Amino acid sequence: MPTNLESMRPQSWQGIDDIVIVGGGLAGLFCALKLAPRPVTVLAAAPIGQGASSAWAQGGIAAAMSPGDSFDKHLADTVAAGAGLVEEKMARLMISEGPDRVHDLLAYGVPFDRDLEGHLLLSREAAHSERRIVRVAGDRAGGAIMEALISAVRRTPSIRVMEGYVVEELIAEGRFVSGVIARPDAGQSKTRVAFPARAVVLCSGGVGHLYQVTTNPAEARGTGVGMAARAGAVIADPEFVQFHPTAIDIGQDPAPLATEALRGEGAVLVNRAGHRFMADLHADAELAPRDIVARGVFAEVAAGRGAFLDCTRAIGKDFARRFPTVHASCIAAGIDPATQAIPVVPAVHYHMGGVAVDADGRSSLDGLWAAGEVTSSGVHGANRLASNSLLEAIVFAGRIADSIKGMLPESALYEWAKSAGENDDLVTVEDSPELKTLRGLMSSHAGVVRDEAGLKLLIRELVGLERKRPRVRFSNIVATAKLIAVGAYLRTESRGAHMRSDHPASQATLRHRTYLTLKQTDRIAAELAG
């Protein structure tokens, strides 16, 4: 459970960190820059940029910036993809602030693609009615954005970056979060460090590595959601896990991604017999919403027919120039995408659920803000529209910065010191057999297609795993897995990314968001576990 300050010994800090940001991805770094010149501490488990899904994003940022586009069109596409659960006021807010945040990124040095006249070059992705994806070198948006932000952060004296600090717990006193506890040396130190703070901003990423096949970096294990839930925060929509339809199926962990932009440029999905199966399933074929395409690919793979992304006609000999990241992944696996179809499989790509936040990124706990994939702001509903994720990260990170500056007066105390407490909780979670078991269970029973029997079995097994390994970092992971499983169990319908084979239709009575606390989740899990 959350650690009280008094349990940490000895307490040796001289002052209190004004603001602590957990996570060195897009949301965390953008928030830090927007808070400047106010001092902030960024705690990152890996060197900034290396452990963040943001750096791997290929498509880009969705923003209504072309002459023929509008905020209303972007909102309509977002609402349609979200399958009835999008909070329209929140989505409109995000969309309307998008162009300004793109200009912020330009000011930080992000080299977005431009045409010969210097205008931003916009592309189209699935379920978008207009070309509104701002990209870099075709498929390098995430990496280029992160490179520019890292450079800006390094130049900003008010930002202190602490790399190799794995945050394990929130310091909570009642409903107030007053800091975090982290383990240095990439989580391998035998002692832990307390960072008291007047504001904690959680930007810790997603949940991909709760599953066997994912496009996310290894750090995306749902620990942020778990920490917040264990501190008492409300978690929203945990059952909605988005599977990217076209991870490259070459046995790598994480799986390389074949960006959706390829389908936007005309690539088609075929099975081993060469049949274009998505044309049978949706009027938009390969450009249908991601959940529909993911289920189509899953069905072909499950039936033994295989699924392949054929780019040979749409892109062909220009592949290496237009999509260098995907090209490199294919060539390394012995596939020439200019002349050969790419084997693909659905992979966990994004979590629509997470810490429930308001329009300023505030959680249900005082002192705790959150931004990025760790949150559920309601802008994605049951199924995220392509490239709205980076948009959400920068918009709400910026709003958090404004909120904190408006709510907290400047402090004169910026000294910091370590408060090391002895702790025997040193574990290598990444290599534990329990985590491998959990990933297999989640993929089997809370994957692309779910049912009641499988979810009940999963919940019982998760309770058993938690009892077997009652360690703080693993408890964070299991907490998030339980929230996903219980949310999926309670939603007895199919909607967006959540597919129940035993409840294949959507229900009007369930057209609402899910809100759970860990206490509620544990009570349901205990009942099912017997």
Contact residues for 114 (Cβ-Cβ < 8 A; gap 6+): 120, 121
Which ranges in 334-413 belong to alpha helices (H)?
388-407
Determine whether 74 is exposed, middle or buried from the number of CB atoms within 10 Å of its CB (0-12, 13-18, 19+): buried
For the chain, the distance separating the N- and C-terminal CA atoms, rounded to the nearest angstrom, is: 23
DSSP state letter for 252: -
Rounded distance between C-alpha atoms, residue 164 and residue 427, angstroms: 15
Q: Is 290 a catalytic residue?
A: yes
Rounded distance between C-alpha atoms, residue 292 and residue 513, angstroms: 20
Answer for the pair 336, 317: CB distance below 8 angstroms, yes or no.
no
Q: Give DSSP secondary structure letters for 445-507.
A: HSSSSB-HHHHHHHHHHHHHHHHH---HHHHHHHHHHHHHHHHHHH--S-BTTB-BTTS-S--
Q: Which of 290, 295, 384, 450 is catalytic?
A: 290
Give the residue carrying structure tokens 């927007």: 34
Check the CA dihedral 60-61-67-71 and report its sign.
positive
Question: How many contiguous H segments (helices) and E segments (strands) does the chain have?
Answer: 15, 19
Just list the catalytic residues.
290
